[in-house]
Amino acid sequence: MALVNAVALIHLLGCAPPVCTEDPPGAFYQLAPDQRSAAYVDAETFANVFSWLQQADDRDVSFSCLVDRFTNAFDNDVDMLVLVLHLGGQEFLERSSTRIIANFTAAQRVFESGIGDVPKPVVAPVGPSTMRSYSVIGAREGLLAGPLLHELAHGWSAYLTGPDALTSQIRRTPTSHWGFSSVGGVLGGWAPDSLEQLDDGLFRACSPTEVEPFSPSGYASNTVPFAPLELYLMGLIAAEEVPDIQIAVNPQLAGPVSTCASFTADEIVSVSIADIVGENGARSPGPADAQRHFDLGLVILAETTLSAGDWQYYQQVVSCLESTEACEIEVQALGAANSTPFYPLTFHDATGGRATLRFVELDPIAPPLGPASLPE
């Protein structure tokens, strides 16, 4: 059993205001040979980001300014921006004081109604006006192995403002996950139909993936397809396709957690999609008109210039993630070097073939962006 305990999934709706309005001296963008990603090369920025990821309350470095720099450098109206540290997962763990690889998403704009607003949206969003969210991935394997799919899901979830039983799970720390519920998607909960009652007030339920233990705060590996409720909130399926959701009231873990976990609860209540629509309004636009293709920007935060081999790696990753066929690169869960290898789900796979993404060809506003893009 592989336990992914070295990966932290933090969800943040806001960030400190930008504190760095100008590029540090010597910082530059290096464009990928195919222009579908760019490295932001600056040792100081890299060190700051690495430090920030280990101390989430450190506001000295703001991710908002990195997003501002992207907006100033590229003329691309992306839907989501992905910032990834150019660092291997094991290397992250070796260099880290906390020995936890942190990842997070900051949702910036809401373009639809009916998806809730817990916690409240940010006041001063950053990035292109089209940008829904930006995600920071702590180590490069996190793109393909996950938690990229988990982080992308935070563009829409989980912000529902009712019913109370569901929202009390969403408000658990870290916020905006499905908690002890049968949603069983990339943002947490148990596999539907896995709930058993063991005794009066004692229950047992199981993870939707063999790669990770049961988790109320979501799954990091790119192995869990988006659940019906997640697909509904993304606008990809109709309300009628979302099954009733079982939710534990006042749940407490009761024993060790592996693929399955025991927990106590006052009771299990059931919430229907009609209850959710009644509290939040209908998701609009619905599946007939909702966006089904998403443009992503990819920025690699690097200490030094990337090599031809590095670019080849990112080109493979990008092709795999946006593929509408199977991704045939075998990976292991981020931060778990001895775990069972798996073939990751692509975004298209995770949506059940309902939506696609593409990493856009970046369009520099004012070349040159620094030294030549491809050192020999």
Binding site for Zn ion (CB under 5 A): 9, 11, 218
Residues 6 or more apart in contact with residue 212 via CB below 8 angstroms: 2, 3, 4, 219, 220, 221, 223, 333
> Least CB distance from residue 213 to Zn ion, whole Å?
16
> Least CB distance from residue 318 to Zn ion, whole Å?
23
| Whether residue 375 has a cis bond before it, omega within 30° of 0 | no
Asked if 285 contacts 323 with a C-beta cutoff of 8 angstroms, the reply is no
> Least CB distance from residue 76 to Zn ion, whole Å?
25
Nearer to Zn ion, 142 or 370 (CB): 142
> Least CB distance from residue 158 to Zn ion, whole Å?
9
> Least CB distance from residue 33 to Zn ion, whole Å?
33
Nearer to Zn ion, 11 or 86 (CB): 11
Nearer to Zn ion, 9 or 321 (CB): 9
3-state secondary structure of 34: coil
Nearer to Zn ion, 62 or 133 (CB): 133
> What tokens were used for 221?
């590996």
> Least CB distance from residue 189 to Zn ion, whole Å?
12
Nearer to Zn ion, 219 or 311 (CB): 219
Q: Is 142 exposed, middle or buried (0-12, 13-18, 19+ CB in 10 A)?
A: buried
How far, in Å, CA of 206 to CA of 342, rounded?
Answer: 19
Q: What spatial distance separates the first Cα and last Cα of the chain, rounded to whole Å?
A: 42
How far, in Å, CA of 132 to CA of 107, rounded?
Answer: 6
- Helices 43-54 and 63-73 cross at an angle (nearest 10°) of 140
How far, in Å, CA of 146 to CA of 49, rounded?
Answer: 19
Nearer to Zn ion, 11 or 204 (CB): 11
337 CB neighbour count, 10 Å cutoff: 12
> Least CB distance from residue 155 to Zn ion, whole Å?
11
> Least CB distance from residue 67 to Zn ion, whole Å?
19
How far, in Å, CA of 283 to CA of 238, rounded?
Answer: 9
Q: How far is CA 118 from CA 141, 172, 210, 227, in A?
A: 30, 11, 30, 19
How far, in Å, CA of 132 to CA of 262, rounded?
Answer: 37
Nearer to Zn ion, 57 or 328 (CB): 57
> Least CB distance from residue 196 to Zn ion, whole Å?
26
Nearer to Zn ion, 128 or 218 (CB): 218
Look at the block and give the residue holding tokens 């504190």.
Answer: 19
Q: Is 57 exposed, middle or buried (0-12, 13-18, 19+ CB in 10 A)?
A: exposed
129 CB neighbour count, 10 Å cutoff: 9
> Least CB distance from residue 84 to Zn ion, whole Å?
16
Nearer to Zn ion, 11 or 348 (CB): 11
Residue length of the chain: 376
E strand or H helix at 347: helix 347-350
**Which phi and psi angles does 15 have, rounded to 5°?**
-140, 165
Nearer to Zn ion, 9 or 369 (CB): 9
